[in-house]
Structure 1
Amino acid sequence: MKKIIFPLLVAFLLGTGAVRAQDNSELFIADMLTLADNFAKPASEGAAYQASAGWYSSAATLEKWDFRLSVHGNALFIPDDRKTFPLSNADLQLLEIEGSQNVRLPTAFGTQTATFFSGEVTFENPVSGNTETRAVRFKGFDGIDRDYVPHAFLQVAIGLPAGTEVTVRAMPQVTIDDVTASTFGLGLKHNFSQYFRNYSPEGFQLAAALTYSKFDVEYAFDAIEVEDLVMMNLIKVDAHLWMAEAIASKQWGAFELFGALGAASSSFDYVMGGDGPALITVNTQLQELGDVEAYFKTDLGFNIHLGRFRLSAMGTAGKFFNANLGLHVRI
């Protein structure tokens, strides 16, 4: 009897291993994560620069309990090296690039692509329980094809005691070229010039600030589907940014010059939108792609004061360049 049972047991285990070996859905998911990460990461970094720009245009703070309402317009300029990324078949585990071994594909900032990917995905159908194979073929993600990305938001600031100012920033959800974005932020600024000897409100101003921003971006694309396994049509980026900066400013009559040096830390979480039993697995593995980055940036600009009104213009430089215009009214 043992001579019969042992070979049967070995055959069963080998057979089970063979069935499992046929399931290559994890390789397909890994390839999709590779494509999604390269596509979305430059846009995540750009969103962090947009979120860090335009917070303050002066080291001076509001008088206690004064309010200031500000309307800002941003333009994030996209470097050419952030519009594409290289990919080869060696980077993929299951999919293949049709008609080529190496290509440059657009990021979310790039243009459209004519590159197609194809492969065969084998998986256990969760409904029937059978092992099935599906041919999959899809076009690479298209970017928004822009040299700059506009972004507008509102800010409200209130003066507190001891030369301190609190600012709240918000932008409602807006959609531009299949890209949806929204932001919220909170900032705290404290003036240190008040502790200097011979301090004067018209003199040199120095302040420090700490800000937090939450920036949500969604990128819609043509649905990529493996029937009975997964359908994906959206990449969501949840960005969190902490920034500390030193601000200096000096006013001469109606003209004020200001500059700032900042250090920021940003974290990104990705979520894929769509449907299907494998979507949970996709998003679980996407969480491992979440990234934390630290960087430095500089601001330089000027203000024109007109009574209760102030017009500001500034540039933020680092990995990206961001231009900001603001109209402020003191209440």
Structure 2
Amino acid sequence: MKKFSLVIFLAFSAYASAQSSANEVFAAGIEDANKFINGYLSPVSEGMLYGLGGGWYNTADAKPLGGFEISIIGNMTQSPNDKKSFILNTEDYENLKFVDGSVSKEVSSALGDLDGIDVFVDGPLPGDVDREEFELPSGLASENINFVPTAFLQVSVGLIKGTEIKARFLPKVETDDVELGLYGIGLQHDFTKLLPADKILPVAISGVIGYTHLTGSYDFTDQGVVSGENQRLDVKMNTWVFQAVVSTKLPIINFYGGVGYLSGKSTIDVLGTYSGGFLTQPVTDPFSVKTNASGVTGNIGAKLKLGFFRLHADYSLAKYNNLSVGVNFGFR
């Protein structure tokens, strides 16, 4: 189970380690660091929220009482090109300047791959340093990752009268620098089960509600220009999805689709103590990056059922498109 957790763990590590380079921006002061890190991290946070909202169903036909399905689900949320960068205008910053003299320039977000963009802050800085130069961080695309991956284990159990309960989780993983875990709960109700002709209807229609919660942390102490203690990111993400789903009811292969709404919130607390650069005195727990995601989603997919073993895949259209693939083991 711990190996399974490695999928999302590696993705989180990649984006968190890219952020560690952004630690250097603290040399320009808290206000400049706050503005830059918000622009840098918000797109990848939004993408993760859309990924966490995917994979809640692979049919509208709810399981009968005692029926169950265990699924290993992976989501690949596409990184839109317009989210891979943002415009940094130095007139909006107090101390941060481009080395080449530009006033405004496109720079990488945590999803992007723009590198070689050098900035500086003028002194006097501590230690009689008159000028500090550093390169702005690139993002996931520089590691050939052009999507935001998420993965989890999901269990679905049939209750009475067309109702099915779902639970998802990612076992907690920890290293010296990174800690990550996930859980969620969902409910599906098959409205066609209430009809007398349910057994002969060729399709099923359901409603699905799902909630997912992710927590993570990344320690990047002493990886930048400014010194300090316990420098880290503390990440909390929550998503709600509300879906209307329709599917066929055939013995082997079925097709399904849904339309609904996603609402999510991400909070990344930048914690620890920071000193140096334009920080005239140590600053503790300086700010948070808050990102909201919301919008209509729609998907279409197919499920192959071979006795106890099943496979499914679907593609969702939304602000961040998402491919969801699952391997399932079920009874009834």
Task: Specify the TM-score bucket, using the shorter chain as the normaliser.
Answer: 0.7 to 0.9
Matched, 1:159 2:158: yes
> Is the contact between residue 152 and residue 171 of structure 1 (CA under 8 Å) also seen in structure 2?
yes
1:35-71: CA deviation from partner (whole Å, max 9, x where unpaired): 1111111111110111111110111111212221111
* 1:76 counterpart residue number: 77
Compared CA separation, residues 279 and 212, structure 1 to 2 (3 A): farther
* 2:286 counterpart residue number: 282
Amino acid of the residue matched to residue 327 of structure 1? V
Q: Residue 53 of structure 1 aligns to a residue in which SS?
A: coil
TM-score (norm. length: structure 2):
0.78
Q: Structure 2 CA distance, aligned partners of 1:122 and 1:231?
A: 23
Q: Residue 88 of structure 2 aligns to a residue in which SS?
A: strand
Q: Structure 2 CA distance, aligned partners of 1:269 and 1:193?
A: 39
Task: Give the total of aligned pairs.
Answer: 293
Q: How far did 1:162 drift?
A: 2.0
* 1:105 counterpart residue number: 107
Compared CA separation, residues 116 and 291, structure 1 to 2 (3 A): same
> Is the contact between residue 96 and residue 121 of structure 2 (CA under 8 Å) also seen in structure 1?
yes
> Is the contact between residue 47 and residue 215 of structure 1 (CA under 8 Å) also seen in structure 2?
no
1:192-229: CA deviation from partner (whole Å, max 9, x where unpaired): 111234222663111111111113455777833335xx
Q: Structure 1 CA distance, aligned partners of 2:161 and 2:303?
A: 24
> Is the contact between residue 58 and residue 303 of structure 2 (CA under 8 Å) also seen in structure 1?
yes
Greater length-normalized contact order (CA 8 Å, ≥ 6 residues apart): 2
Q: Residue 292 of structure 2 aligns to a residue in which SS?
A: strand
Q: Structure 2 CA distance, aligned partners of 1:43 and 1:293?
A: 11
* 1:22 counterpart residue number: none
> Is the contact between residue 48 and residue 215 of structure 1 (CA under 8 Å) also seen in structure 2?
no
> Is the contact between residue 260 and residue 297 of structure 2 (CA under 8 Å) also seen in structure 1?
yes
* 1:66 counterpart residue number: 67
* 2:213 counterpart residue number: 214
Q: How far did 1:157 drift?
A: 1.2
Compared CA separation, residues 122 and 246, structure 1 to 2 (3 A): farther
Q: How far did 1:87 drift?
A: 0.8
Gaps of 5+ in 1: 1-24, 126-131
Gaps of 5+ in 2: 1-25, 276-281
* 1:114 counterpart residue number: 116
Compared CA separation, residues 291 and 83, structure 1 to 2 (3 A): closer
Q: Residue 153 of structure 2 aligns to a residue in which SS?
A: strand
* Greater Rg by CA: 1
Q: How far did 1:173 drift?
A: 5.2
* 1:6 counterpart residue number: none
Q: Structure 1 CA distance, aligned partners of 2:173 and 2:84?
A: 22
> Is the contact between residue 231 and residue 279 of structure 1 (CA under 8 Å) also seen in structure 2?
no
Q: How far did 1:274 drift?
A: 4.6
Percent identical among aligned pairs is: 25
Amino acid of the residue matched to residue 142 of structure 1? S
From 133, 138, 143, the counterpart of 1:142: 138
Q: Structure 1 CA distance, aligned partners of 2:93 and 2:219?
A: 23
Compared CA separation, residues 276 and 93, structure 1 to 2 (3 A): closer
* 1:266 counterpart residue number: 264
Q: Structure 2 CA distance, aligned partners of 1:189 and 1:281?
A: 41
> Is the contact between residue 87 and residue 105 of structure 1 (CA under 8 Å) also seen in structure 2?
yes
Q: How far did 1:309 drift?
A: 2.1
Aligned-residue Cα RMSD (Å) equals 3.1
> Is the contact between residue 225 and residue 231 of structure 1 (CA under 8 Å) also seen in structure 2?
no
* 1:308 counterpart residue number: 308
Q: Residue 210 of structure 1 aligns to a residue in which SS?
A: strand
Q: Structure 2 CA distance, aligned partners of 1:50 and 1:133?
A: 44
Amino acid of the residue matched to residue 244 of structure 1? F
Q: How far did 1:171 drift?
A: 2.1
Q: Structure 2 CA distance, aligned partners of 1:144 and 1:112?
A: 10
TM-score (norm. length: structure 1):
0.78
